[in-house]
Chains A and B, each alone.
Chain A
Amino acid sequence: MASKEPPTSRIELLQGTLDFIILQALRWGPCHGYGIVQLIRAQSRDVLQVETGSLYPALQRLVRQGAIATEWGTSSTNRRVRMYRLTARGRTRLAAERSRWEQLTEAIAGMMLPPAAEES
């Protein structure tokens, strides 16, 4: 039984990046677990596929740390579902993570460029 999923090149998330991505996804407003997976997939143009086995533990962890809070809402299938939303502490943390992320990407981009310059 071969997989029917398109063979996009998925990227294994870096350690610690998942929390950041979840916070980022929740920036647009409260959302349930399934919605978060869909959001991340859509925003990354199908590159980032979050495993449920990683998502739910991460959500539990973030709740415990106080970065997100839970409330009850209704899903599109019309059933009671748990929604997650950013807290004030989560927003602060998101800002901090974002600047860290920017530093990291800049650094990695910087490492990629010079060899190209040498080749020319």
Chain B
Amino acid sequence: MRILEWLPWVRARRTRELADELRAHLEMAEADRIARGETPAEAASNARREFGNVGLVQEIARDEWSRGGLWLERFAQDVHFAIRMLRRAPAFTTVVVLTIAIGVGATTAIFSVVNATLLHPLPYPHAEQLVRIEDDLVGLGARDIGMSTPEWRDLERSGVFDFVSPTWFDDNNLTGLQHAQRVGLLIVAPNYFALLGVKPQLGTGFSPGDETPGFNGQAVISDGLWKTAFGGDSEVLGRVVQLDSDSYHIVGVMPPGFQAPGRTREERGTQVWPAFGFAGAPLNQASVESRRSLFAGALGRVRSGLTVEEAQRRVDMLVRQLRQQFPADYPPASDWRVRLVPLKAAIVGDVREPLLFLFGAVVMVLLISCANVANLLLTRATARSRELALRQALGGAPSRLIRQLLTESILLSVLGGLAGILLLVGVKNTLVRFVPDGVPRVNEITIDWGVLLFAVVASISVGAIFGLAPALQIRGLDLIRALKLDGRGMTGSRAQNRTRRSLVVAEFALSLVLVSAAGLLVRSFWRLLEAPLGFDPQNVTVLRTRLPYPNDPKEDLYPTVGAEATFVREIIRRSMTLPGVTDVALGSGAAVPLDHPQQDQTLLRAILEGDIVHGEQPLFITGSEVTPEYFRLLDVPLHRGRLLDDFDTDSAPSVAVVNEAMARTYWPNTEALGKRMRLSSRSPAWTTVVGIVADARTESLASTSAPHIYVSLYQRQGKHLAIFVRGRFETGAIARAMREEIQRLNAALPVFGVHTLNETVSDSLAVRRLSLVLIASFAVTALLLAALGIYGVTSYLVAERTPEIGVRMALGASRGDVMRLVMAQGVRLAIMGASAGVVGALIVARLMSGLLFGVAAADPLTFAAALALLTSIAFAGCYLPARRALRVDPVMTLRA
């Protein structure tokens, strides 16, 4: 039966009957009164007064049905009416919908990135149990130095983990197909895929219990490599591939979309996973048994039922035991510790802060657009107060009218939200292309249900919160006055004006926060660009190649420093003959400024002679191998001593050149020249510092200088080679010529990573540039919205005060006086808002200090500029309405 009541014709009949019944009531009352002797006119009016408001009675009576479920009907009615109202004011509707679309669209865009990178769990089963295991030497300030085979075994046996797999990233030359290709290689234990809980799409993968000490000859490849190098051939399993002339057979192909959970772009792009036992060749017995022979970090799956915190406590206990058991390997001064980092935090750690910062900024834009919408709604509510008063007088219950107005504003915001989502879907692919390569999990960015839900909730709450203020004004509506004034000269109530002003103040406060944050970022960027690099990137092209490093030493074409030196000198000789080339140098990958893929990072273990603090405990210092031409080519000036030269070969005593930062840090009060250090804990040979060069910002533009040791490529081998070519030539042509020359020397060598150094410098700022552009565009949007907001409010105030202005002018106020009157009112609001914003801006600036460079968080110049900018925006926003005030004709207003 209940269901039947919802049917429209049933409802219509009931409504008709109710109206009928009420009319009969009135008629009977009239008839009675006439019978008592009243005139028909008196009777009609008295009966009606006694009865009360017919519409209202009917409405309340119908309310009674709604408790049974007719709210649906009323909701449909409200929506229907709201649509009609909005269609009648297309300009208003368009402006509001667009404002909300921009706010919701931008917020949702940033949210989709936050959602994919920070909120979504990693795409592995029980990903919360996965950790990256990092070893620190807290006493030496060294982080994530890697672990040794005995330490790995200790962790495996500890009972804390289901699996622990060391990971070692490298790149390798894939040969045996049409042409030599460089591939990203992640050397893992056979339990690696079991640890992640992911199965290959083809093949069985490794068997997790495999005990082969060295490489077992098995490899798993990525879906991408399978498709590009093997054409998606389903017969690929069992095929043998050559990696650095070692043979592997393929036992699995990972599913599409699978990525190694790496911290760097290179590691995430891994194409081949060979299985390695970390306990046999090519590692020798001594290094397998030594606790000091380190390889890279490891991944672990914490035993189920154990939280990461609990696992960390147990690992801490194990570490204490080991330190007592092996005091020679773990001297107290070095303070060895093992840290379990939840895998997600390890992967997205670097982008967390900038992303949350961006999200905060975009939420501010959303709030500002909401404030604008609220202002528009308020103005409209004032203009409609006659309509609303009339509807109340005709029996519209205030609660019903409030609901009606709320429905209107929520409808507006839902429309805006939908427009925003459509906008976002339209530009999504373009947006994702803007995200720099370095951001992890970009491939996971989607507009999924979570993101849509966010957009819908955001727009509905925007509508509800900001529609509520104007809707509640209904309660204070003075019916008689509103009806009498006939819509002319209607002014908002005091409360309304207060709300309107506070909205503008809030808009300016939020805008100031955004503008000053953008200002700080711009200044930081500027500082970064103008800070001296310490090297000259002009006209330098860098190419990379990589010498194979087979597991079997007998296969190695370049087994000694001497053999490699011959090759290197030959490359230099041949390159110098190419047209346009003026200078050529080689170095290890770590010698390339500002571009250090994971496999290129070189931490030298240095034991300084006479170092009483650290003794035999090696220090970890970045270093690179370079040929003597390197310093000249990059224009890194020599400060003292001499540079490396052609006579520093494997038959001459080992020498090194260090930078000023190194000299300052490790030999603070004495001359670093002539000091000696051991650069390998196994070799007893001392390396002498023969020269000190200027600091160059080769690590990152934002960090001034890290200690750096340069040794000669003719004295110490580097397998990852970078070739620096200076001259006037076309980059593509020189790359082709160089590839030809190098492959004429050895056809198996890949040539890749061709960049000009200028590009490298610019790329190193990509993430910064992106957040700068985003924040700046948010700030510009905020300014536009704030200008619109203050324009709207001032226009409104001018319209409201027109009679007053007329009186003032009639009494002799000059145009200047009127102008000042109007401007002062608007600008005062703006300044109030902006000053309130300074407090917020200072807090935000402190939070974002990690993103700043060369600018104090409380930089007075930036804040003063932001204040000045907002003030001038306020002037601009008030100017037009002020002009309108000047055109007020005193005679007209006084007569009206």
Query: Which positions in A face B, CB cutoff 8 Å?
Result: 4-5, 32-35, 38, 51-53, 56-57, 59-61, 64, 75-77, 79-82
Contact = CB atoms under 8 A, between A and B. Distances in A.
Nearest to A38: B32
Nearest to A36: B25
B31 A76 contact: yes
A52 B68 CA distance: 22
B51 A52 contact: yes
B28 A34 contact: yes
B28 A60 contact: no
Given A32-B25, A60-B61, 7 more contacts: A34-B24, A34-B25, A56-B22, A64-B65, A64-B67, A77-B31, A82-B21
What's the dominant secondary structure at chain B's contact region? Answer: helix
Given A34-B24, A53-B52, A82-B21, A64 B60 contact: no
Interface in B1-43: 17-18, 20-22, 24-25, 27-29, 31-32
A56 B60 contact: yes
B57 interface: yes
A76 B27 CA distance: 10
A51 B52 contact: yes
A7 to B, nearest CB: 15
B57 A4 contact: no
Contacts of B233: none
24 contacts: A5-B50, A32-B25, A38-B32, A52-B22, A52-B25, A52-B51, A53-B53, A56-B21, A56-B57, A56-B60, A56-B61, A57-B64, A60-B64, A61-B64, A64-B65, A64-B67, A75-B27, A75-B28, A76-B31, A77-B28, A77-B31, A79-B24, A79-B27, A82-B17
Contacts of B51: 52
B46 interface: yes
Interface string B44-73: 001000111100111011011101100000
A75 B22 CA distance: 13
Interface in B438-478: none
Contacts of A59: 61
Interface of B: 17-18, 20-22, 24-25, 27-29, 31-32, 46, 50-53, 56-58, 60-61, 63-65, 67-68
Contacts of A4: 46
B21 A33 contact: yes
Contacts of B63: 57
A52 B57 contact: yes
A34 B21 CA distance: 9
A77 B27 contact: yes
A17 B380 CA distance: 44
Contacts of B32: 38
A76 B46 CA distance: 19
A80 B27 CA distance: 12
A32 B64 contact: no
Contacts of A77: 24, 27-28, 31
Contacts of B53: 53
Could you say which of A35, A61, A81 has the most chain B C-beta atoms within 10 Å of its C-beta?
Answer: A81
Contact of A34 (B18, B29, B61): B29
B24 A32 contact: yes
Contacts of A56: 18, 21-22, 57-58, 60-61
Output the residue of A33, A52, A59, A64 with the most chain B CB within 10 A. Answer: A52
Given A32-B24, A34-B25, A57 B31 contact: no
